[in-house]
A and B are shown apart, each in its own frame.
Chain A
Amino acid sequence: MTSLYDEVQAAPGEGVPTRRVTIKVNGADRTVDVEPRLLLAHLLRQGLKLTGTHTGCDTSNCGACTILFEGRPIKSCTMLAVQADGHSIETVEGMATASELHPIQEGFKEEHGLQCGFCTPGMMMAAKALLDKNDNPTEDEVRWALSGNLCRCTGYQNIVKSVLWAAEKMRAESK
């Protein structure tokens, strides 16, 4: 069992309440004690050392912290860790297997869908939510699905191409 307190607070104050939560993260159950006010994004980054999920804006506008919550894209900077108790979530670290990248990851590299890389994990998770439901989206559908995620580097055109590249590969693989 991981104790979050050991990770984020070396000397917990007297009387600080905690709650024990169990969250399925990338397929494995993780049980941690958390302060009720702890944000899910911070649990992932600091407590569980999954730093692929980034925090960009604190106001759920930028989408850098996007993860999948029961398969749906959510912004983990605006969900409390305790709200995820008993649920299943997926982060960027769960996309690739040891030997193989997910087609979305391949697509982002192949179509140069990233520059500084900061928005990329959130973008890819939002894209995964779309492609898991619809592996043959139009360009407009891709743009709409990614419209909760900001990128300052790319101008989006290559991100859209990356997602369409991945869709094509996923369709080919599912045949």
Chain B
Amino acid sequence: MALDEIKIGGLGASRRRVEDNRFIRGKGNYVDDIVLPGMLHMELLRSPVAHARIKSIDVSKAYEIPGVRLVLTGEMMAARNLAWMPTLSYDTQAVLATDKVRFQGQEVAAVIADDPYIAKDACQAIVVEYEQLPVIVNPFQAMESGAEVIRDDKENQPGNKVFDWEIGDKAATDKAFAEADVVSKMELHYPRSHPSPMETCGSIADFNRATGKLTVYMTSQAPHIVRAAVAMVAELPEHMIRIVSPDLGGGFGNKVPIYPGYVISILASILTEVPVKWIEDKTGNLISTGFGRDVYLQGEMALRKDGKIMGMRMKTISDHGAFYADAQPSKFKIGLMHSAFACYDVPAAHLESVGYYTNKAPGGVAYRCSFRVTEAMFFQERMIHGAANDLGMDQAEFRRINLVKDDMFPYRTAFGFLTDSGQYGKCLDIGMKAIGYDTYKQEQEEARKRGKLLGIGISTMTEPLGAGNSREYDILGIKMFDSAELRVHMSGKAILRTGAMNQGQGHQTTWAQIVAHELGIPADDVTVEEGDTDTAPFGMGTYASRSTPVAGAAVAMVARKIRAKARKIAAHLLEVSEEDIEWELGRFYVRSNKERGVTIQDCAIAAYSNMPDGMEPGLENNAYYDPPNLTWPFAAYFVKVEVDAETGVWDVLKVVAVDDCGVRINPMIVEAQIMGGLTEAYAMASMQYQTYDDEGNCIGSNYMDYLLPTAWETPGFELHEVVTPCPHHPIGAKGVGECATVAGPAAFVNAVVDALGHLGVRNIDMPMMPNRVYEALTTGKDISGMPPVRMGD
């Protein structure tokens, strides 16, 4: 009898999470929970100013404080060739400043002391003399002729430009615009946002002089990449470096880059020969680590009167901060921005992207998305909304006309991506029904008569998730594959290790479900481990929704290798030839006699005790998986709002999410990922953003200024499911963790703009704070750019 897949915790089971057992008891093991004998504590001194030449640094007063063991400055790093390090975008980034500080919060010195309080005291005792320089806080200032050059450390640096890049067919696009009935234009800004996981970054570096081995416990979403980079930067042999990511208190892309604090703690441990712990405070995290977004768009669409999109042009101007440290593995300078409009049939498209340095924190991380995909899809859906209005067409109808139809797959987009599957129209229908779209126009009219402003916003998109393939995607030359290693013990229990790194997604639970699906070993019998480079197979880590598409595929593939060997063992045990054997979940049997069979557990013990002649003992293997393509989930989100005409406050009445992420491993976890993503979408639409005043002071440097929604503001969500399996993934799954963050923001903005549409308002840039909405509804004008910063009186 085949096993009941749901009962053994296989695919489709909403299996309760294994990792919860420790978290609900307060027994998680985050980096700050780890205490090593003799450990010292490190604290960073950060620049209070955004742009200044360092005249002098005097650390003598810091050394007078009892308990201070070491003070590190840029000069001391430079003496060891560690003052600068490479970024993931082939730029350089200061570890500790030597010549200039280039953003507020930049690392200037580090104190290593007996306890964190002493280290903090000693930072205050360091005297730094700065000579202030002109400050640049947006790309428009950066591009002015004669603007102060921020990166004067680089040879041949043309002003403040980072890159100037284009893709698409310009001539065909120009032709589409020349022949268009209607041209719809939109200028947008996606404000700077910080992923802000609850846990900040931190590390404990432990260099053992006796063995020459360096162990670093750290908050990394990609420990193997860190090992490769540390080997490169610190010139230590790779086998003498062990990177361990313990439990991570969230990541969202913030914990992909390598930050100065990690590097400094490593040098500090080498110099002091004891473990050195660095735990960033929240302000340090918000003002210095990888931000997301901060991109301006000029978008245009060439439209035919009947609603068909004929062409699209985008020009993006992006703000990269002081160092080009975008965490992205593509050869495309602005990540996957050109995935915009991938769900629509657009014959001609052109994208031009220009990036600039500014005196702001470096980053440009993929904040809960593939690389720049959140910006791409936000711009897309705001442009779609504007175009439908410019044509006088219904929002849903305009989308339906232009969405790629089911029979058009595989579909090559104008920018060259290959989307492979989906039922876009079906998702749209389900969402429309759930939100009550049919009666909505009438409802909106009637509400307006009563002075109430109702709006519905739609956002539909497909996004590329799960980098690589290795032909196009790499980090520092390492191809974007992932890996899994499975050992089946003789009792049929197993341990699985992957190159991914959980940070709340529930890998311990879901990877075991894939093994259960492939081998019939109950999920409860499978231990999952990740994050230790000494034991886990080499993998590229977890971000950009790549775990299930890549590492998850590797798990299925390694399980199939195990099954192939087990089949040979089964044939031996059943005394028939391998060709006469059939498989059903958990069991091989003789084709001619279904009763005669052996379980996978029988094969496991036989692999150690009764293997066929000539067979290598044991039942373990590994798999490295290089995906043939990205996966392309589809999302259709509907948001209904009511705007208060007297205050500009908007309430969310209903959120409907229809997600097609292919086969769902654990529906409970998938749904929770979508709800979490929708909440971040709501956050960015309503309140969560970072800005800078004219002097480069970061506004949003703590949770009093950087607003995150609580349980009280956050709306409820209604979720729906469509399943179109991914044609190239071994179990048909697609990425999903980020769909809602990517497609969600436009749904909220479209809803509020729809509510104000009759007043002539075409756009309100995020964050849609009530005062901005109020200004739009009282003036009928668009609200663009960042909220003004009120300077101190």
Chain A: which residue is nearest B24 at the CB level? A105
Binds A, one of B208-216, B296-304, B431-439, B668-676: B668-676
> Is B629 in contact with chain A by the CB < 8 A criterion?
no
Give the complex CA separation of A150 and B704 in angstroms. Answer: 12
Give the complex CA separation of A150 and B702 in angstroms. Answer: 13
> Is B181 in contact with chain A by the CB < 8 A criterion?
no
Give the complex CA separation of A90 and B344 in angstroms. Answer: 55
Residue A14 contacts which of B66, B118, B196, B676 (CB distance < 8 angstroms)?
B66
- Cβ of A115: which chain B residues have Cβ within 8 Å of it? 250, 504-506, 672, 676
A-B contact count (CB 8 A): 183
> Is B1 in contact with chain A by the CB < 8 A criterion?
no
- Cβ of B503: which chain A residues have Cβ within 8 Å of it? 116
> Is A58 in contact with chain B by the CB < 8 A criterion?
yes
Give the complex CA separation of A83 and B679 in angstroms. Answer: 37
Interface centre among A12, A61, A115 (most CB of B within 10 A): A115
Q: In B77-101, which residues have CB < 8 Å from any A CB?
A: none
Q: In B184-243, which residues have CB < 8 Å from any A CB?
A: 196-200
> Is A19 in contact with chain B by the CB < 8 A criterion?
no
Give the complex CA separation of A155 and B713 in angstroms. Answer: 10
Give the complex CA separation of A172 and B332 in angstroms. Answer: 59
> Is B263 in contact with chain A by the CB < 8 A criterion?
no
Chain A count of residues within 8 A CB distance of the other chain: 64
Interface SS of chain A: helix, strand, loop or mixed?
loop
| Cβ distance A108 to chain B, nearest Cβ, rounded Å | 5
Q: Are A152 and B708 in contact (CB under 8 A)?
A: yes
Q: Are A91 and B669 in contact (CB under 8 A)?
A: no
List, sorted by A's number, 24 A–B pairs whose CB atoms are closer than 8 Å.
Answer: A9-B118, A13-B67, A16-B66, A52-B27, A54-B32, A54-B199, A57-B702, A58-B282, A58-B702, A92-B26, A109-B16, A109-B17, A112-B669, A115-B504, A115-B505, A116-B248, A116-B249, A118-B30, A118-B198, A152-B676, A153-B672, A155-B672, A156-B710, A158-B675
> Is A78 in contact with chain B by the CB < 8 A criterion?
no
Chain A: which residue is nearest B673 at the CB level? A115
Residue A147 contacts which of B21, B33, B712 (CB distance < 8 angstroms)?
B712
> Is A64 in contact with chain B by the CB < 8 A criterion?
yes
| Cβ distance A54 to chain B, nearest Cβ, rounded Å | 7
Q: Are B703 and A157 in contact (CB under 8 A)?
A: no
> Is B115 in contact with chain A by the CB < 8 A criterion?
yes
> Is B28 in contact with chain A by the CB < 8 A criterion?
yes
Q: Are A10 and B248 in contact (CB under 8 A)?
A: no
Give the complex CA separation of A53 and B33 in angstroms. Answer: 10
> Is B154 in contact with chain A by the CB < 8 A criterion?
no
Per-residue CB contact flags for chain B residues 16-50 toward chain A (1 = under 8 Å, else 0) read 11011111111110101101001000000000000
> Is A149 in contact with chain B by the CB < 8 A criterion?
yes
Q: Are A159 and B114 in contact (CB under 8 A)?
A: no
Q: Are A52 and B26 in contact (CB under 8 A)?
A: yes
Give the complex CA separation of A45 and B279 in angstroms. Answer: 14
Chain B count of residues within 8 A CB distance of the other chain: 61
The verdict on A58 contacting B714 (CB below 8 Å), with A51-B26, A117-B247, A119-B198 known, is no
Q: Are B282 and A108 in contact (CB under 8 A)?
A: no
Q: Residues of B with Cβ closer than 8 Å to A? A: 16-17, 19-28, 30, 32-33, 35, 38, 65-67, 114-115, 117-118, 196-200, 247-252, 281-283, 503-506, 668-669, 672, 675-680, 702-704, 708, 710-712, 714, 716-717
- Cβ of B23: which chain A residues have Cβ within 8 Å of it? 114, 117, 120
Chain A: which residue is nearest B675 at the CB level? A155
Residue A153 contacts which of B30, B250, B703 (CB distance < 8 angstroms)?
B250
Q: Are A152 and B197 in contact (CB under 8 A)?
A: yes
- Cβ of A12: which chain B residues have Cβ within 8 Å of it? 66-67
Q: Are B67 and A156 in contact (CB under 8 A)?
A: no
Q: Are B504 and A153 in contact (CB under 8 A)?
A: yes
The verdict on A154 contacting B675 (CB below 8 Å), with A61-B704, A144-B712 known, is yes
Residue A112 contacts which of B281, B672, B678 (CB distance < 8 angstroms)?
B672
Give the complex CA separation of A163 and B45 in angstroms. Answer: 41
- Cβ of B679: which chain A residues have Cβ within 8 Å of it? 154-156
- Cβ of A14: which chain B residues have Cβ within 8 Å of it? 66
Give the complex CA separation of A150 and B712 in angstroms. Answer: 10
Give the complex CA separation of A116 and B250 in angstroms. Answer: 5
Q: In A53-69, which residues have CB < 8 Å from any B CB?
A: 53-59, 61-62, 64
